Structure 1
Amino acid sequence: MPPKTWHSLPEYQALRAMMECGTTSEAANRLGLSQSAVSRSIASLEARTGRILFERDGRMLRPTNEAAQLNMRLDALFEALEKLEGPPELEQETLQIIAPPTYAHRYLVHHIASFLKANPHFFVGLEVASSDMVIRGILDERFDLGFLGVELPRDGVRLTPFRTSHAVCAMPHGHVLADQQIIHPEDLHGQALIALSPRHARRAELEKVLLACQSEPRVVAEVSTSFAAVDLAREGLGLSIVNPFPVVHYRAQDVVFRPFASQIRYSTYYVTPKRRATTAIARAFLQHLQLRTARDPFSEKA
């Protein structure tokens, strides 16, 4: 049965110091030992390994190929010791977010940037998708956090209200209705309207309000997001009834926003998997949003 092998860190330290310093005296100074202690460690290592590690050349000790090879193999050991004694490494935490374009392209991008600047050891992935895909991504647990502007309850996901708002009318500066402080449904009669696409639940809700007042605006364009509607209004195409959050934060100087007198209400939800706890990094990001989201006259914290 072969003899049991053992290792001596002081011997390895003496070898490495000799390889780097070149002389026994300099190696001893580096290690805080006497020259005789370094010599004994080298002699012990040679005896234990059965290898000649240094050859005398006059007054100098010249390392052999066996010493160089052993020293190279010791790199991993000393790198591990440096990590063990050094400051702890921060494990990079990852947050995967999925959201529709209205929330992703401006609002979330802005706050993700400030969140990562404040927490450089974090990593955030952002997927832009339809509301249905937001639910599916959270159900499949491919994402930690989602955002929605419509209520789509499903088993397996948790919808938590984040922001609430009232409908507003967005119109270009100089519009005939821009001087009114409140826009009523009947005021839209005959006006050019940029409407949300028919697949939007809010489109049917607005049509119901207009029908009750026998108000018939002229639909000149249909779009799928509030930002697109407001941007078309800014171009002078007409007016639009939209959820002011978060578009008002980015278009308040370019477009006139007025309250729309109706019962149309909006909620922004953050979505998390119901089968597991919300991750610490997701909670940190949500707190970041709550603290950094600017106030506006049309929305408020839920």
Structure 2
Amino acid sequence: MTERTWHSLPEYEALRALMESGTTSKAAVRLGLSQSAVSRSISSLEARLGLLLFERDGGRLRPTSEATQLNKRLDPLFEALDRIDGPPERAQETLRLVAPPTYAHRYLVHHIATFLKANPHFYVSLEVTSSEEIIRGIEEERFDLGLTGVELSREGVTLTPFRASTAACAMLKSHPLAQLETICPEDLHGERLVALTHRHARRGQLDKVLTNAKSKPKLVAEASTSFAAVDLVREGLGITVINPFPVAQYRSEDIRFLPFASQITYRSYFVTPKQCLTPAIARAFIRHLKLHTLKTPFISKA
């Protein structure tokens, strides 16, 4: 049977104090002990380990290589003692956030950065995916908080309204229609149009509005996100009809957004699990978004 090795914290403290101060008198002052007590602790440690830990060099004690190696191995012990004696560490909280590309890129990225700067003890994991997967992930409690612009009601999730907006047209400021105050469906007749893809429900609504107004724009491109559609407009491809939230908050100097005269409206929602309490970090992030989301003419609180 292997003989159990015992450890003495006072001996280790004496070793560390002596190595850092260089003399038993200074080590004793540091530890609040007598010099003889420090010397006895060092002698006891040397005897127990069978090692010479210090050699006399003039009026000072010079640590041997064995003492240096032992002192280094003691670092984790004294770091742990410092944590025990110090103020309690604040546990790092994690927010599992999920959103579609239109909300994730630029908008959420910016607000995540400001949120973490104000709360350095927080941690955010952002997943970018489709609205259908957002609802499924929240329902399965793989995420704490989601943001979506699609009203997909499910038994296991709660949709909390965040923002409401009306359709807007985005175009270059040099575009002839940019001089108007409001864009009507008839104004788009014959104009080059960048549309959202047909997987978006609002694309069908836009097609119906244009058909009813007997307006036939020239479709030149399709995009899967509002940001991409506006970027194509910025490249001079024409005009687009989109949900201005959150794209209008990041408009460039050369893009103008104007109201589009239609009944097309949009809503964004916070998505949370229904069966469990929303974590404090998720509630804090919701407050952060509500407080710091910029106001624009097209967007209001839902």
Q: What is the TM-score with the length of structure 2 in the denominator?
A: 0.83
CA deviations on 1:24-64 (whole Å, 9 max, x unpaired) are 323222222222343455577789x5968779979988889
Contact 1:51 1:66 in 2 (8 A): no
Show the 5 A alignment for 1:62-211: 74-211=74-211
Query: Given residue 205 of structure 1, which amino acid in structure 2 is its aligned partner?
Result: Q
Name the residue aligned to 2:218: 218
The Cα of 1:230 is off from its aligned counterpart by: 1.9
C-alpha separation between the residues in 2 aligned to 1:114 and 1:120?
10
SS in 2 for 1:178: helix
CA deviations on 1:145-196 (whole Å, 9 max, x unpaired) are 2211111112222211111101112222233322221122222233222221
SS in 2 for 1:216: coil
Aligned residues: 301
* Identity fraction in percent: 66
Contact 2:55 2:64 in 1 (8 A): no
CA deviations on 1:103-147 (whole Å, 9 max, x unpaired) are 111111111122222222322222222222222322332222221
C-alpha separation between the residues in 1 aligned to 2:239 and 2:178?
10
Contact 1:194 1:233 in 2 (8 A): yes
Contact 2:181 2:259 in 1 (8 A): yes
Q: Is it true that 1:254 corresponds to 2:237 in the alignment? A: no
Q: 1:67 to 1:217 in 2, by over 3 A?
A: closer
C-alpha separation between the residues in 2 aligned to 1:233 and 1:72?
63
C-alpha separation between the residues in 1 aligned to 2:85 and 2:95?
30
Which moves more between the two structures, 160-169 or 248-257? 248-257
SS in 2 for 1:164: strand
Which moves more between the two structures, 62-71 or 212-221? 62-71
Query: Given residue 166 of structure 2, which amino acid in structure 1 is its aligned partner?
Result: H
Contact 1:145 1:282 in 2 (8 A): yes
Q: 1:41 to 1:212 in 2, by over 3 A?
A: same
C-alpha separation between the residues in 2 aligned to 1:83 and 1:265?
55
Which moves more between the two structures, 238-247 or 208-217? 208-217
C-alpha separation between the residues in 2 aligned to 1:160 and 1:231?
30
C-alpha separation between the residues in 2 aligned to 1:54 and 1:293?
64
Which moves more between the two structures, 121-130 or 37-46? 37-46
Q: 1:231 to 1:56 in 2, by over 3 A?
A: closer
Name the residue aligned to 1:232: 232
The Cα of 1:225 is off from its aligned counterpart by: 1.2
CA RMSD between the two structures:
3.3
Q: What is the TM-score with the length of structure 1 in the denominator?
A: 0.83
Name the residue aligned to 2:263: 263
Q: Is it true that 1:28 corresponds to 2:28 in the alignment? A: yes
Query: Given residue 195 of structure 1, which amino acid in structure 2 is its aligned partner?
Result: A
The Cα of 1:233 is off from its aligned counterpart by: 2.3
Q: 1:51 to 1:199 in 2, by over 3 A?
A: closer
Which moves more between the two structures, 36-45 or 98-107? 36-45
